[in-house]
Amino acid sequence: MLTYPKYNYYKLLLMNTKAIVAKKRYGQNFLKDQSVLRKIVEAMPKNDHKIVEIGPGLGDLTKYLVDVKSVEAFEVDTDLCKLLQSKFKEEIVTKRLHINCGDVLKAWKSELIDKPYDLVANLPYYIATNIILKALADPMCKNILVMVQLEVAEKFCANEGEKAFGSLSVITQSVGDARIVVQVPPTAFEPPPKIDSAVFLIKKNRDRDDEDFEGLLRVAFKQPRKTLMKNLSQTYKKDALLEAFLELSLSQTVRPHQVSTDYYHQLYKKLI
């Protein structure tokens, strides 16, 4: 089994005779468990959208994806780009796969590509939350099926009243429905990460029209153990808050995780 290294590198992965170094700085934990790979493909929403894969790595998931859809891939590691270009020669020629070599965050304007797409990926964990938030805000992204660390997946999928319920859950519920597809142990990867992971699916089915809703959520969840009233009163006028809470029959002692997404939207409309 491959293990974490002393340096900035994992142990070498030998691809034929060419040595590929797995780089920790790019969050490279390669998913090797075929049953998990198959579960990801089975959970893909049935539609004619393109697939965007961020971080194809050694191409294990890509191999499954190009069998069912055409794929637009973004990979930052130039060594892996070269490897993928040689491994998927035929798919590239027949236009089932296009590889963009570079940092996906630099390529991402408000839309990542100009066609409707589903994001399917085993994400680099160090930027996973940032990528998912961008995908949630991208009007061309229709569904998100990604592997991240379990704790992060739980935050995106939590319901009101649950411990993990926070601004990520509210932002997600504002545009769609989320569920965990499968929990994945470290042994499914090479090298194994230190934490458990999970694949989750967000089906986007609603549009957002509230520009600074995230601003309200940042304030609302700033100190999760304090009351919602206390958090919001750091930014909003007390009179306006008292009136809004009264109109919505919200208790002044309610904590941020106990308030539903719908109430957050109603509060937002009353406070802007």
Binding site as annotated, residues for S-adenosyl-L-methionine: 29, 31, 55, 75, 103, 122
Work out how close the CB of 225 gets to ligand SAM at its nearest, in angstroms, rounded to a whole number: 33
Contact call for residue 231 and ligand SAM (CB under 6 A): no
Q: Candidates 2-10, 63-71, 72-80, 89-97 — which segment interacts with ligand SAM by CB under 6 A?
A: 72-80
Please name the residues in contact with 86: beta carbons below 8 A apart, sequence gap of 6 or more: none
* Both tokens assigned to 100: 């963009």
Cα separation, 236 vs 146, in Å, equals 36
Is the Cβ of residue 122 or residue 169 nearer to ligand SAM in the bound state? 122
Work out how close the CB of 110 gets to ligand SAM at its nearest, in angstroms, rounded to a whole number: 18
* Both tokens assigned to 201: 């699916």
Determine which residue in the list 65, 66, 71, 104 makes contact with ligand SAM, applying CB under 6 A: 104
- Per-residue contact flags (x/-) with ligand SAM for residues 28 to 57, judged by CB under 6 A: xxxx----------------------xxxx
Contact call for residue 105 and ligand SAM (CB under 6 A): yes
Contact call for residue 75 and ligand SAM (CB under 6 A): yes
Total length of the chain:
272
Contact call for residue 124 and ligand SAM (CB under 6 A): yes
Is the Cβ of residue 4 or residue 26 nearer to ligand SAM in the bound state? 26
Site for ligand SAM in 81-100 (CB under 6 A): none
Site for ligand SAM in 181-200 (CB under 6 A): none
C-alpha angle with apex 109: 105 to 111, nearest 5 degrees? Answer: 110
C-alpha angle with apex 127: 122 to 131, nearest 5 degrees? Answer: 75
Q: Candidates 12-20, 103-111, 231-239, 257-265 — which segment interacts with ligand SAM by CB under 6 A?
A: 103-111
Is the Cβ of residue 97 or residue 259 nearer to ligand SAM in the bound state? 97
Candidates 248, 252, 249; CA nearest to 265 is 248
Give start and end residues of each alpha helix (H) in the chain. 34-42, 60-68, 78-87, 89-93, 104-107, 128-137, 150-157, 167-175, 213-220, 228-232, 238-247, 261-271
Cα separation, 201 vs 35, in Å, equals 17
Q: Candidates 63-71, 74-82, 152-160, 206-214 — which segment interacts with ligand SAM by CB under 6 A?
A: 74-82
Contact of 121 with 134, CB cutoff 8 Å: no
Please name the residues in contact with 225: beta carbons below 8 A apart, sequence gap of 6 or more: 255
Work out how close the CB of 163 gets to ligand SAM at its nearest, in angstroms, rounded to a whole number: 26
Cα separation, 193 vs 71, in Å, equals 26
Contact call for residue 145 and ligand SAM (CB under 6 A): no
Which residues are at the interface with ligand SAM (CB under 6 A)? 26-31, 54-58, 60-61, 74-77, 80, 103-105, 122, 124, 127
